[in-house]
Amino acid sequence: QQPVQSPQAVILREGEDAVINCSSSKALYSVHWYRQKHGEAPIFLMILLKGGEQKGHDKISASFNEKKQQSSLYLTASQLSYSGTYFCGTENRRGGADGLTFGKGTHLIIQP
Amino acid sequence: EAGVTQFPSHSVIEKGQTVTLRCDPISGHDNLYWYRRVMGKEIKFLLHFVKESKQDESGMPNNRFLAERTGGTYSTLKVQPAELEDSGVYFCASSRLDRDDGYTFGSGTRLTVV
C-alpha cells in the first residue's frame, strides 16, 4: 500500500526549515528518502531501518518511528539547491522482491 | 564509478509501434528494478531482477511489456504494441543485494506515445 506524504508542496525562503512526513498503514521494514530535480534521476538521501532510527548529514536528517509507521525528513536552514521533489519509498520486509513503494512526492521550492 | 545509464533519454512513437528501453546498471549491482512515473502520479514499481532472474514482475501493466536482463548485466524493457497510456518516464534503478546504500536511479527515459 502506498505511503502517504505530506505536505504535497512547500514554498520556503532560503534559510527556513522544512519537515516532510511519510506514513504507512502497514508495518515497515525500511524507509528510503530520495530527492529528484526536474528531468534528473532521483538521488538517494538516506535509508532508515526497522528498530527506529535517526540519521542525518549536513543539514538534512530523518527519523523513523516504527510504532507509528512514520518517517519525517528534516531540512534545516534550507539552501536553493534543496529545491526538488522529495519521495519516500517504503519496504514492508527485508529483501522484498517488489522493491520500494513510493509516495506521491512533496514539491519543495526554495526562493532566494 | 559510473552511474546507472538509460537510453534513449526521450522517445516519441506512434500508437501501435514498438519501443525498447535499455538500462545499464552499476557494475556489481545484482538488483535491478524498473519503475514508471506517469505525469502527476507516484513512481510505480514494474519489476525486479536479481542478476538475470526475475524476482517479481507484479507491477508490469500487461503482456505488452517484456523485460529481460541478459547475463545479469544490462536490461531491456520492450513495449509492443505501445498504447497512449504507456506514456511516462521509465526509471531503472540498481542496488547491491543488501540495499543498505539505497538504490541508484538512472535519469529515466521519457516515453511519449502519440
Q: What is the pLDDT of residue A27?
A: 87
CB contact at 8 A, B13 and B21 = no
Q: What is the pLDDT of residue B8?
A: 96
Q: What is the pLDDT of residue B102?
A: 86
Q: Is pLDDT above 80 for A57?
A: no
CB contact at 8 A, A60 and A8 = no
Q: What is the pLDDT of residue B1?
A: 63
- CATH topology for B5-113 is Immunoglobulin-like (2.60.40)
Residue type at B57 in one-letter notation: E
CB contact at 8 A, B23 and B47 = no
CB contact at 8 A, A88 and A30 = no
Q: Is pLDDT above 70 for A80?
A: yes
Task: Give A-chain residues touching B58 at CB under 8 angstroms.
Answer: 98
Cell of B13: 512513437
Pairwise pLDDT comparison (A21 vs A65), residue with the higher score: A21
Q: In whole numbers, what is the pLDDT of chain B averaged over residues?
A: 93
Question: What is the edge-to-edge ordering of all strands in the sheet holding B75-79?
Answer: B5-7, B19-24, B75-79, B65-69
Q: What average pLDDT does range B16-21 have in this prediction? A: 97
pLDDT in tens, B48-98: 999 999 998 999 999 999 999 988 899 999 999 999 999 999 999 999 887
Task: Spell out the residues 6+ positions from residue B1 whose beta carbon is closer than 8 angstroms to its own.
Answer: B26, B27
Confidence category of residue A52, pLDDT binned at 50, 70, 90: low
Number of domains forming the structure of chain A? 1
Among residues of chain B, what percentage have pLDDT more than 70?
Answer: 99
Instruction: Print burial letters for B12-45: b (CB count within 10 Å at least 16), e (below 16).
Output: ebeeeeebebbbbbbeebbbbbbbbbeeeebbbb
Closest Cβ–Cβ partner in B4, B93, B102 for A47? B102
Find the closest chain A residue to B91 by CA distance: A41
Q: In whole numbers, what is the pLDDT of chain A averaged over residues?
A: 90
Taking chain B, what is the end-to-end CA distance rounded to the nearest angstrom? Answer: 37
Task: Give B-chain residues touching A98 at CB under 8 angstroms.
Answer: 45, 48, 56, 58-59
Rounded-to-integer distance, Cα B67 and Cα B35, Å: 12
Q: Does B57 touch chain A (CB under 8 A)?
A: no
CB contact (8 A) between residue B45 and residue A99: yes
Domain around A52: 4-111
Task: Give B-chain residues touching A39 at CB under 8 angstroms.
Answer: 107
CATH number of the domain that residue A30 is part of: 2.60.40.10
Q: Is pLDDT above 90 for A99?
A: no
Q: Does B34 touch chain A (CB under 8 A)?
A: no
Find the closest chain B residue to A1 by CA distance: B44
pLDDT in tens, B96-105: 887 777 899 9
Closest Cβ–Cβ partner in B56, B99, B107 for A41? B107
CB contact (8 A) between residue B58 and residue A98: yes
